[in-house]
Amino acid sequence: MMKSSVSSVRAIKNNANKISNRNFLDSSQFLLQPNILRHEANNKGYLFFRSLMPEEKLLSLRRQILEILYRRNLLDASSEILDGVANIDAIKQLAPETFRGNGFPLDIYLEIQKLELFQTIGHEARLFDIFRHLFEAEPFLHPKTIARVVMPHEEVHATPPHQDFIYIQGAVQTWTAWFPLGDCSRKLGSLSVLEASHELGILDVAPQFGAGGLEAILCGLDLNWAEADFKMGDVLIFNSRTVHKALPNTIPSHIRLSCDFRYQSTNDIIDPKSLEPHGPWSWEEIYSGYSNDRLKYYWKKRDFEFSEWDNSLLGTKPKIC
Ligand SMILES: O=C(O)CCC(=O)C(=O)O
């Protein structure tokens, strides 16, 4: 006879809530060993590199973005600009709608998108070298570049666990490079990655607060979350199917700044939207302040085959766990 007592019903665990028990290992030692690099990337679905990006460029981009915030009175006037200390009162007064969509006001985002250093920093040779090893082909940086400005406001939620593929589509072998513009500890909301989750296929999603508005359903899974305290220059790269999430910013006096850039092989298919700006602007507007034409419209030299968009990947399902 079937037992129906409550005690016999075992709750299905939600892997989203599992406490991290892994630190990212630094793969810098394999930078000159492409076979090992590929093997590690294929096994884990991500790689982490300490001190990969040139600090002076990151610092300069950090300053340029913080100066945009400073001009809008969103930084604490008694602190150094580079410290990124929030003017909490001024931020709290911003209308909740301004935090929907990208998670911070759109007019600020346009100014960031127009920064030449922001648009060109993803072309860094050290990043391209890694992706050349992974793809065994010439890498291509999606011009749809993303900046994140995480401010203390009740409308701002940490990015929920998700796979980038549902938003990017195109080539499965698309990889994201995520790096903070400044030191970014777990407490300030660095990224956490679900190891080997790229092997799970494309997961169902449910509505959730935070960037993208959807979370991957992780009920009944038991993979390990890996994470680290990032120093400026450290870079995390992960496959488009690797589940990742942001940790909550528990230092609300400080603003978290970061970039995500996507790379794929020039030989693979791509979704045409990956060639558009991240926001409702034209390339002409974004490029209007450039001092150098070299990297403008660089993707137009490529003759890509376009993939079909699959909207069903964004359809929500009930989360039962
Ligand atoms: O920085 C974040 O909060 C989210 C980043 C992310 O999801 C990504 O890079 O794909």
Report yes or no: 150 and 250 within 8 Å, Cβ to Cβ. no
Interatomic CA distance for residues 296 and 278, integer angstroms: 15
Interatomic CA distance for residues 103 and 202, integer angstroms: 25
Is residue 80 predicted with pLDDT exceeding 50? yes
Query: ∠144-28-40 over CA atoms, to 5°?
Result: 80
Is residue 96 predicted with pLDDT exceeding 60? yes
Residue 98 lies in a domain: yes
Interatomic CA distance for residues 196 and 184, integer angstroms: 24
Number of domains present in the structure of the chain = 1
Domain that includes residue 63, residue range: 15-271
227 C-alpha to center of ligand 1: Å?
13
Instruction: Say yes or no: CB of residue 246 within 6 Å of ligand 1.
Output: yes
Predicted confidence at residue 7, as pLDDT, reads: 43
Query: Which phi and psi angles does 2 have, rounded to 5°?
Result: -75, 135
130 C-alpha to center of ligand 1: Å?
20
Residue 4 lies in a domain: no
Report yes or no: 263 and 85 within 8 Å, Cβ to Cβ. no
Which of 48, 169, 176, 256 maximizes ligand 1 atoms within 8 Å of its Cβ, making it the mutation to test the pocket? Answer: 176
What is the chain's mean pLDDT, rounded? 94
Report yes or no: 165 and 241 within 8 Å, Cβ to Cβ. yes
- Our measurement of the distance from residue 192's CA atom to the centroid of its chain's CA atoms, rounded to an integer in Å, reads 11
Residue 287 lies in a domain: no
Is residue 133 predicted with pLDDT exceeding 60? yes
Interval 175-224: pLDDT, tens: 999 999 999 999 999 999 999 999 999 999 999 999 999 999 999 999 99
Interval 22-54: pLDDT, tens: 999 999 999 999 999 999 999 999 999 999 999
Predicted confidence at residue 64, as pLDDT, reads: 98
Q: Which ligand 1 atom is the nearest neighbour of the CA of 159?
A: 3
With cut-offs at 50, 70 and 90, classify the pLDDT of residue 6: very low
For the residues 285-294, what does the mean pLDDT come to? 93
Residue 3 lies in a domain: no
188 C-alpha to center of ligand 1: Å?
14
Instruction: Say yes or no: CB of residue 164 within 6 Å of ligand 1.
Output: yes
Predicted confidence at residue 134, as pLDDT, reads: 98
Interatomic CA distance for residues 63 and 289, integer angstroms: 17
CB atoms within 10 A of CB 254: 24
Name the residue among 132, 140, 175 with its Cα closest to residue 34. 132
Is residue 4 predicted with pLDDT exceeding 90? no
Is residue 174 predicted with pLDDT exceeding 90? yes
SS3 175: strand
Specify the CATH number for the domain of residue 237.
2.60.120.620
Smallest CA separation from ligand 1 atom 8, residue: 260
Residue 296 lies in a domain: no
Report yes or no: 289 and 116 within 8 Å, Cβ to Cβ. yes
Query: Which phi and psi angles does 150 have, rounded to 5°?
Result: -100, 110
Interval 217-271: pLDDT, tens: 999 999 999 999 999 999 999 999 999 999 999 998 999 999 999 999 999 999 9
Residue 319 lies in a domain: no
Residue 292 lies in a domain: no
Percent of the chain with pLDDT over 90: 91
Is residue 21 predicted with pLDDT exceeding 50? yes
Is residue 164 predicted with pLDDT exceeding 70? yes
- Our measurement of the distance from residue 87's CA atom to the centroid of its chain's CA atoms, rounded to an integer in Å, reads 25
Report yes or no: 56 and 62 within 8 Å, Cβ to Cβ. no
Instruction: Say yes or no: CB of residue 260 within 6 Å of ligand 1.
Output: yes
With cut-offs at 50, 70 and 90, classify the pLDDT of residue 1: very low
> CB within 8 A of 4, min separation 6: which ones?
none
Residue 184 lies in a domain: yes
Predicted confidence at residue 9, as pLDDT, reads: 56
Predicted confidence at residue 12, as pLDDT, reads: 77
160 C-alpha to center of ligand 1: Å?
9
10 C-alpha to center of ligand 1: Å?
33
Which of 148, 243, 274 maximizes ligand 1 atoms within 8 Å of its Cβ, making it the mutation to test the pocket? Answer: 148
